Structure 1
Amino acid sequence: MLRLNIIIVICAFFGTISCQTNQKRLDTPKKNILEDAEIPYLKGESQQIFDPKPSPDFDENKWFTNDHCFVVDKKGKLHWFGINNPFPPEGKDLYRYHPYLGHLTSNSATKNWKREPFAINEIEGTEYIGAPFVVWHEESNRWVMVVEQWREKRQLEVYWSTDLVNWEETKTPILPNKLWVGTRDPHIMKGPDGKYWIHVVATGNEGMKQSQVLRIRTKDFVNFENPETILGIDDNEWATLIESPFLIERNGLWYLFFTYAHRRYAETLVIVSDNPDHFDYKKNVLTTMFGHAAEIISYKGKEYITSCGPEDAHYLNTHGVTMAELGWLNQK
């Protein structure tokens, strides 16, 4: 009987410890991703890196820049590709008249930008070329560009180049039956699954009329997987109100930058996630930054963030593309 009582006491003791341990687990707060994340910020002044107009005597129009991208070539030179157009002449509509895709190069990021011939010139063609993104396609040993074109309608297309100067168009729309008209502003990265991730802004995916960021996966830029929604904001019924997504991974967390242009034109939101397939707008907005259509580029040991626009004509439209060094605040 004594032995039985001892066993009962021991079981009760360890049972109490087990209950206390389980209670501690229940009481332990869940990981707060906003507290673990580093906060991006602009270091110093955001300065103009080049004038939007090709030259003072190019024509009589004012010019503007908008969405753009950067790429470093195999010799270490930095290239800029982006929307770079005159304000439209009489009889042309601003958001339909986009004939040029600008191309500039530099060896220093913040200065010494040299204007190259337009990467794409549609002045006698479709009169439209939209936001581009360029990456190196390892599998075919070529540069690939995803860009918005406007033929019978607006659509995403693929262009190829071996030298970043001459571009071959495909004229083949990406997922024409699965992407809402107006899907645009591509960002491309190679994901941990070995596929290229094309991020675009859209609405209508899976029947949801939200402002969305979609991911389209591909290996060859010929065959594309169905679009996945990685961010959805229930804010509209007819079109996406966000623009220009840019996704990076940093120390195990994922940071999605995008412009909420139809709320504030020069507002870039940053949402953090530990899952690159899902970003929660309601819970995980990390910070709000100044800038429109922000791009992030690492060059010669420093990281930079850019802004551009606005595209609507007024006296502030001449600042072109601006750049600032990007810093990260560690909260710990």
Structure 2
Amino acid sequence: MKSINIVVAIVVTLTISSCNISKAQINKPNEQGLSLLELADIPYLKGESRQIFDPKPAKDFDENKWFTNDHCFVTDKKGELHWFGINNPFPPEGKELYRYHPYLGHLTSNSATENWKRQPFAINEIEGTEYVGAPFVVWHDESNRWVMVVEQWREKRQLEVYWSTDLMNWEETKTAILPNKLRIGTRDPHIMKGSDGKYWIHVVATGNKGVKQSQVLRIRTKDFITFEDPETILGINDIEWATLIESPYLKEHNGLWYLFFTYAHRRYAETLVVVSDDPDHFDYEKNVVTTLFGHAAEIVNYKGKEYITSCGPEDAHYLNGHGVTMTELGWLKQ
């Protein structure tokens, strides 16, 4: 019994020492007086961002010019990369820009920057609501299937959940997420599994808790049926009626958190990156680590490489293919 107690004491002592060392290492930069901006690595685009596929399904599909916009990537269980995103023709006569979004595009590839193969539209609302907004897809461990959060436009714009077992066929729920808690225009979901075991849905919005500002919110859920009240993780005091930021993407890198988002109503192709040591709070005024060229950036890890994307715009420009572009993402150590 005495020897067992000695072993337990040694294990407890080593555990406490390990915790103390980790805590000291975490606190050491603050003791040196370094700011988050001094500690942060700086993300940058490595080389030219090139279009990875034509936004139009086929040359003879119709007579319209097509575009892509907000999108996401997911790797299936066989290792194939899937792209889902806004993929539509510019509105024909009688239809409105930003209201005519009938298709959600779907493509697959075995090489992130090339070999993209077009699949049938993931969602086709050409004879329905004529609107599908920005999607995000993740694997839901608890139900052993894929889940998509996407913006729909029924009686009004709202976030909804779709389910799939194969990433090809999607079952709609037609049920709005937190209809009494989220204002119209809450959109552009990003989803990740949090340290609390819940799924964190990040969206852009305004008016959370009565505050009129451009916001990034977090909505927590386990089952994508019930949802916790939204929390504001970033706010910019810039507006009174609608969010002016878009397309959040949250990533942990070397012990710090980086929130990427587009400030589209300042410059369409501008992605700001704010760094934090707390994933629940980001300070736009103090901790913007860099500005990247691109709209609605997504970060993709595939076959050992990390990429960053851009897309759009939804209105015609002469030197723009209106497709998704991609390049490697680099991190500059200070």
Same fold (TM over 0.5): yes
Do the aligned residues in 2 keep the contact of 1:184 with 1:202 (CA within 8 Å)?
A: yes
Q: Which residue of 2 aligns with 1:289?
A: 292
Contact conserved, 1:64 with 1:317, CA < 8 A, in 2?
A: no
Which residue in the other structure is 1:131 paired with? 134
Contact 1:39–1:328, Cα closer than 8 Å, also in 2: yes
Equivalent residue for 2:82?
79
**Structure 2 match to 1:103:** 106
Which residue pairs with 1:185 in the alignment? 188
Identity of aligned residues (%): 85
Q: State the Cα distance separating 1:31 from its structure 2 match.
A: 3.2
**Which SS does the other structure have where 1:35 is aligned?**
helix
TM-score (norm 2): 0.90
Measure how far apart 1:28 and its partner are: 6.0
TM-score (norm 1): 0.91
Give the distance between the partners of 1:316 and 1:200, measured in 2 at CA.
30
Matched, 1:308 2:311: yes
What secondary structure sits across from 2:217 in the alignment?
strand
Letter in 2 for 1:61: N
| Counterpart check, 1:93 vs 2:104 | no
Is 2:173 the counterpart of 1:170? yes
For 2:193 and 2:317, the matched residues in 1 are separated by: 38
In structure 2, distance between residues paired with 1:194 and 1:326: 28
Q: Quick check: which has more Rg, 1 or 2?
A: 1
Check the 8 A contact 1:64/1:310 in 2, yes or no.
Answer: yes
Instruction: Give how far 1:30 is off.
Output: 3.3
1:257 corresponds to which of 257, 260, 267: 260
CA distance in 1, matches of 2:182, 2:31: 43
The superposition leaves residues 148-206 of structure 1 with CA deviations (integer Å, 9 ceiling, x where unpaired) of 00000000000000000000000000000000100000000000000000000000000
- Structure 1 window deviating more from structure 2 (30-39 vs 189-198): it is 30-39
User: Which of 268, 272, 283 is equivalent to 1:269?
Assistant: 272
Query: Which amino acid is 2:44 matched to?
Result: Y
Question: Is the CA contact (8 Å cut-off) linking 2:220 and 2:227 kept in structure 1?
Answer: yes
Q: 1:53 aligns with which of 53, 56, 69?
A: 56
Deviation for aligned residue 1:29: 5.7
Deviant stretches of 4+, over 6 Å: none
CA contact (8 A) 2:85 2:134 kept: yes
1:222 aligned to 2:241? no
Structure 2: runs of 5 or more not aligned: 1-27
- Residue 11 of structure 2: aligned partner: none
- In the alignment, which residue of structure 2 is the partner of 1:15? none
Aligned-partner residue type, residue 302 of structure 1: K
Could you say which residue in structure 2 is the equivalent of 1:5? none
**SS of residue in 2 equivalent to 1:193:** coil
How many residue pairs align between the two structures?
306
Check the 8 A contact 2:192/2:199 in 1, yes or no.
Answer: yes
C-alpha distance in structure 2 between counterparts of 1:176 and 1:244, whole Å = 20
Q: 2: CA distance between counterparts of 1:56 and 1:235?
A: 42
